[in-house]
Amino acid sequence: MDFRLDFFIWHGWNATKPMCCIYKSNLKRLGILNVTKHEFDYAIVSKNHLKFFWIPDTYVVNAKRVNRPSKALSTEVLKVKINDTGECQLEYSVKLAAVIGCQMEFKHYPVDIQVCPFILRSYSYPYNDVEYKWVVENETLDVNRDLKLLQHNFYLSKSSSKLATLEVTYSTIVVNFTFERRISYHVMQVFAPSALIVMLSWFSFWMGLDAIPGRVTLCITSLLSLFTQFSGIRHDLPAASYINGIDIWMATCMLFVFATLMEFVIIKYLDKQRQIYFRKQVKGTILRGNSQMTLSTDVENGSEMNLSTPPLTPKLAWNIGAVSHHWFKPPSWSLDWVIKIDHVSRVLFPIAFFVFNTFYWPILLTRML
């Protein structure tokens, strides 16, 4: 919510003849204005002698703190020039370092654009006494081409206005710093790794139903990796009550990984229910088969009719399952359907992730325009 700025401030103003006479006498008394020196040259006043002259009390309105870059050397200077008309032309420049506060909005992060004003005004003199103006009003500000920011493109604009504070109106000049965040850093550090983690979790669809440790471990590890990455991202942002663009992305990635884990839980539950149903069918078939009686007669020998019981031969589950019987009806969610759910998920999840990206990225990138 702030940025550091090292800057120079240049002031220029004219003093009337009575005040210029006082300045001229002070310069001679301090030994700065030499009679042998040309009268119309600039006299340079050091920091120790500034108290003998009027200096504008300019201060930064939205600065959190202001200090001087170097305490060993003087970073302010006053130049006094006496014109042939008897008036004085004064120039005062100072170099300062400040931390400028800025009310930033991160709803569109990481494609946000922040406009931070740098406001200067007099601390004690109202608009009627001191008025700040740019030397050239309509001239655009030049940006140092050698100045590079790591994650932002920045632009400058200037203006002048009036600011009312405690029923007092002050003259102000404003420099607007526009910071446009570069998305390339977040593509490599956030979007690409999280997308790869989501795709990595889809490998579980190609594992068998019996690979319980492998599928669960893969999904849980992917989910924890996304949580860790999301925590690192939120650590770099100020605490805010609203949702930004990267929150939606990370939440969607975690939702896809969680859905992959839930898909495995569902198909494993259906497979377990199928096995229980199949075992009940096999158990009932074995009991009915052992209790049946067979009737055999020998008509040719004229012997009496004998009633015999066949030997009790256990029928194995795989033998019963291999033969089609009218008494066995497989459930609608049999093994084929369980496997089909896994196969459909291999295609459905990538399509859903692709559809999400087709809506997410155009909306996100339009914020930069």
Would you list the DSSP string of 187-230? IIIIIHHHHHHHHHHGGGGGS-TT-HHHHHHHHHHHHHHHHHHH
Listed range (4-18, 133-147, 212-226, 324-338) with the worst mean pLDDT: 324-338
Q: Confirm if 120 and 100 have CB atoms less than 8 A apart.
A: no
- Say which amino acid occupies 344: V
Q: How far apart are CA 182 and CA 150, in angstroms?
A: 9
Q: Going by C-beta distance under 8 Å and a sequence separation of 6 or more, which residues neighbour residue 214?
A: 204, 207
Listed range (28-42, 59-73, 109-123, 217-231) with the worst mean pLDDT: 28-42
Helix count (H) and strand count (E) of the chain? 7, 11
* pLDDT score at 319: 43
Q: Going by C-beta distance under 8 Å and a sequence separation of 6 or more, which residues neighbour residue 57?
A: 122, 123, 124, 125
* pLDDT score at 116: 93
Token pair 């920011």 in the structure block, residue: 149
Q: What is the mean pLDDT of residues 112-139?
A: 89
Residue 25 clears pLDDT 90, i.e. is over it: no
Q: What is the DSSP letter of 48?
A: G
Instruction: State pLDDT tens for residues 331-347.
Output: 544 557 778 888 888 89
* pLDDT score at 300: 46
Q: What is the mean pLDDT of residues 88-99?
A: 90
Nearest to 235 by CA among 227, 187, 58: 227
φ/ψ of 10, rounded to 5, equals -115, 130
Go through the chain and tell me how many residues it has: 369
Structure tokens at 120: 């200067």
DSSP SS3 for 287: helix
Q: pLDDT confidence of 255, banded at 50, 70, 90? A: very high
Q: Going by C-beta distance under 8 Å and a sequence separation of 6 or more, which residues neighbour residue 130?
A: 56, 122, 171
Average pLDDT over the chain reads 80
Return the higher-pLDDT residue of 223 and 320: 223
In this prediction the pTM is 0.69
Residue 296 clears pLDDT 50, i.e. is over it: no
Q: Going by C-beta distance under 8 Å and a sequence separation of 6 or more, which residues neighbour residue 88?
A: 14, 15, 19, 20, 23, 24, 80, 81, 82
DSSP SS3 for 91: strand
Structure tokens at 68: 């001087």
